[in-house]
A and B are shown apart, each in its own frame.
Chain A
Amino acid sequence: MPKLFRITQRLSQVVLVLFFVTFLVTILVRLLPGDIATTLFPFATENEKIAIRDELGVNSNIFVYYFRWLGNFLTGDLGIYYSAGQSYEEASLTVWAMLSQTIPRTLLIMVYTLGFSLLCSIPLGMLLAYKADTRIDKVISNILFGLSSIPNFAVGLGLAYIIGVKFELLNPIGYITWAEGPAEHIKSVIMPVLSLSLGLIATFTRLLRADIISTLKEDFVTMASSKGLSNRWILWRHVFRPSSLSLLTAAALNMGSLIGGAVIIEVIFAINGVGMFLVTSIALRQYLAIQSTVALIAIAYILFNLIVDAFMPKIDPRIRSHHGA
């Protein structure tokens, strides 16, 4: 059963990495200077402070603290978010309640970004590969190289100024949910999505172009064209399918920087997403919120990579035979 063995091996690796990731974050959080109870509730009485420390488990050693958090995390209890205005007894806002509001926003923006980037880069990449080494290819390729180097916060600030301030076409601040009005929702995500997409479009297009050029040299393409198949059919069926594989890998590889980019873009455009939540949690010393949010981000990131790996053989049959050999 080599296949089953491979899957178990991979999964145990993932579990081990997840363990270390969450433990690393725990260490970092416990290293925060200052007394947590005093920072969270400066005006609490001494007895209340002792109760808070007990509840957070910061008196016990780091292993006990970690496994208590892990137990709660696995059973779906992400901890309490201690908001500044409330006293210790009233603290009832859970981290999950905050995340369940912020996750959909960030997720939607990322899905839009990936979708939009692929939508633009696939035809563009195919066009450039088709016109390889012509004048138009050279000009566009150089422009794309430049675009791929511009950080997304630079694009974001540029858009915010030109579209938001100079021409006042869109409101540069805030996020409106779909339920509050589909048109308003689209308008509120245009600039964040554009600023995250531009770099991705450039990266994807450059990759797809190089990939398609090398695929066009393969024997099976020559074979297909000598069979008399139409160019369009060859391009979609024989060339794009294997090339889409490296596109998918690139998408998975860029996921990490996309998450990081989303954090900054959320701050620039004042969107209450996961990134904004994390940044405020760090500023407000919300131990449990930081730990649970970073753990969730890491899990999502690792799972996404795992799924991409699992889907690859489905897209490119050649991988299946390589694995078998």
Chain B
Amino acid sequence: MAPNLKMLANKPIGYRLSVLWLGVCAVFSIFGDLFPLPDWNYSDSEVLGVGMFSPGHFFGTDFIGVDQLSAIIHGTRYSLGIALTTVFLAMVIGGFLGILAAYRRGWVDAVISMYFNTTLSIPTLILVVTMVAIFASPDPFNPKTTIPRVLVVIIAVTFVLIPVLGRLARSSALSWTGREFVLVAKSMGMKPRSILWQHIVPNVLPAMLSVGFLAAGVVIIVEGGLALLGAGAEPGASWGSLLARNRGDISIIPHTTFIPVIFISITVMVLNYFGDYFRTQIDGRESRI
């Protein structure tokens, strides 16, 4: 722990603040249940629309008496959970497809690139809204067959995120295969598979990681947008759906809308910061290789 802390002290102030914020979010999402707070969707009819910093309700309550701090903590788990899951899945699947396309070329490349180009030519939010609306909307005469909303959001967002990360993996893998050290390895008789694992994959990963941070920010925004369009997670469960539920009361109890908005904005800012930070690190590293 000690060397880690020392390393942190050498980083710029923005980096330290960003680590701090993500740490708080991690604590919220992992230990959220241990806080002595009312349940995230328990409505207490004694305290309706209480302002911020009132006793017992640090972030106040909304008009159905839900404690906003508890809702935010629960939302952290949902929003970050959705972002992490989708980005992880998209990185694994997209990375695999992208590197496969760059490695195999020919018809494999053509098919995979066509999937990427097709998906990328529909604006992300439009496609996700359509998919969520379709898979999450209950059959009016058989409502029990519906898949849970969160799962649908995760699947739909992953589907549109795969091409974003996959195309990056493909172009990055292509550019590395042309480098001298790969040619040397090839001419020395190294097997294509080992070249892939030892020379291509380790160099593609950092670029994907930095874009992964940016993608996680985009996912949080998309989730918020979906919620505002009525296609997000269950009402009040994530930051986005909390904000969507409280939006109607903005003129009377604005804090219930602006707390989730601020949480979303800061988290996206932090994720973008990390994405930018790692990209400059990688650029410096790549120019040395």
Contact = CB atoms under 8 A, between A and B. Distances in A.
Interface of A: 13, 16-18, 20-21, 24-25, 28-29, 31-35, 38-39, 145-146, 148-151, 153-154, 157-158, 160-161, 165, 255-257, 259-261, 263-264, 267-268, 278-279, 282-283, 290, 294, 297-298, 301-302
B130 A290 contact: yes
Contacts of A13: 117
Nearest to B122: A298
A297 B138 contact: no
Most interface-central of B138, B221, B222, B247 (chain A CB within 10 A)? B221
Contacts of B124: 256-257, 260
Contacts of A153: 224-225, 228
B44 interface: no
Given A21-B122, A153-B225, A264-B225, A34 B139 contact: yes
Nearest to A150: B265
Nearest to A151: B221
B126 interface: yes
Contact of B145 (A33, A35, A263): A33
A149 B141 contact: no
Contact of B247 (A29, A157, A279, A297): A157
Contacts of A25: 122, 130
B126 A278 contact: yes
B122 A279 contact: no
Contacts of B135: 31
A151 B123 contact: no
Interface stretch (B84-92, B168-176, B249-257): B249-257
B137 A33 contact: yes
B125 interface: yes
Would you call the interface of chain B mostly helix, strand, loop, or mixed? helix
Nearest to A31: B134
Interface in B111-146: 114, 117-127, 129-131, 133-135, 137-142, 145-146
A269 B194 CA distance: 56
B229 interface: yes
A82 B119 CA distance: 29
B271 to A, nearest CB: 8
B122 A297 contact: yes
Contacts of B236: none
A302 B121 contact: yes
A267 B121 contact: no
Which 4 residue pairs across A and B have the least CB separation, nearest first? Answer: A260-B125, A149-B269, A33-B139, A20-B118
Contacts of A17: 114, 117-118, 121
A59 B59 CA distance: 54
A282 B228 contact: no
A148 B139 CA distance: 40
B272 interface: yes
B165 interface: no
B237 interface: no
B264 interface: yes
Nearest to A290: B130
Given A157-B250, A161-B251, A34 B141 contact: yes
Given A25-B130, A157-B247, A161-B250, A267 B228 contact: yes
Given A148-B272, A161-B254, A260-B123, A267 B229 contact: yes
Interface string B181-202: 0000000000000000000000
A174 B161 CA distance: 33
A154 B264 CA distance: 9
A165 B127 CA distance: 33
Contacts of B114: 16-17, 20
Nearest to A295: B122
A148 B135 CA distance: 32
Nearest to A274: B126
11 contacts: A16-B114, A17-B117, A21-B122, A148-B272, A151-B225, A151-B268, A157-B250, A165-B251, A282-B133, A290-B130, A301-B122
A151 B265 contact: yes
Nearest to B268: A149
B261 interface: yes
Nearest to B132: A282
Given A17-B121, A302-B121, A263 B126 contact: yes
Nearest to B131: A28
A13 B116 CA distance: 13
